[in-house]
């Protein structure tokens, strides 16, 4: 008697599901999270397994206690990168809308993915600081201007923009849907969808 493997066996899933980490970096209020949620909805509608590792949620649940020194920011980014790679290696499309201001921290995450054979796509949401400060989703720019906070990325703390991201989105020049479509097209082109 011969048995036919279940259509959703582990081997079958591994052969038909490609995971990837899609890292959206940019200034506060650049539109990273908004684009991530728009793309996530589209990917879920197409039947993909998707997770969003939102920077604010990670800070609350995975990196509580870390501050905003360069070292703490690096540790935070490495933790997020580890979780993202773990999920992506199991066939999940992981969207990571995180500022990640330092290029060496992002490069370390990319290298981890490369070493594990997991796809990594870096997207720079390149919204100018003057546009971000008008959007000011969390009121950070207003607090910084009022002297209530310091160390705001891109204002009085550095942001090292990616020199050669896989995609650069200028969200101030297009709709959220257009930005998500641009990223969707890139993932299709790279064979990740």
Look at residues 162, 84, 163 and name the one whose alpha carbon lies nearest to residue 118.
Answer: 84
Q: What is d(CA 115, CA 95) in angstroms, rounded to the nearest whole number?
A: 20
Neighbour-count burial of 17, counting CB atoms closer than 10 A to its CB (0-12 exposed, 13-18 middle, 19+ buried): middle
Strands 167-169 and 93-97: unpaired
Q: How far is CA 53 from CA 48, 67, 103, 105, 155, in A?
A: 16, 19, 19, 17, 24
DSSP 8-state code for residue 60:
H
The CA-based dihedral angle spanning residues 177, 181, 182, 184, taken in that order and rounded to the nearest 10 degrees: 140
Show binding-site residues for ATP.
Answer: 26-33
For residue 183, what are its two tokens? 């990223």
Show binding-site residues.
Answer: 26-33
């Amino acid at each position: 008697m011969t048995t036919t493997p279940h259509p959703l066996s582990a081997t079958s899933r591994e052969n038909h599901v490609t995971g990837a980490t899609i890292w959206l970096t940019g200034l506060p209020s650049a539109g990273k999270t908004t684009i991530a949620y728009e793309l996530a909805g589209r990917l879920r509608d197409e039947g993909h397994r998707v997770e969003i590792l939102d920077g604010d949620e990670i800070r609350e649940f995975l990196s509580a206690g870390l501050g905003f020194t360069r070292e703490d920011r690096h540790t935070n980014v490495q933790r997020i990168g580890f979780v993202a790679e773990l999920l992506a290696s199991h066939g999940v499309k992981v969207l990571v809308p995180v500022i990640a201001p330092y290029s060496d921290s992002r490069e370390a995450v990319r290298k981890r993915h490369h070493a594990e054979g997991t796809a990594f796509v870096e997207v720079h949401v390149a919204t100018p600081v003057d546009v971000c400060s008008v959007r000011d989703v969390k009121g950070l720019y207003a607090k910084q201007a009022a002297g209530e906070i310091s160390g705001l990325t891109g204002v009085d703390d550095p942001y090292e923009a990616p020199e050669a991201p896989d995609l650069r989105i200028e969200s101030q020049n297009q709709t959220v849907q257009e930005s998500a479509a641009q990223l969707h097209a890139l993932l299709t082109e790279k064979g990740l969808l």
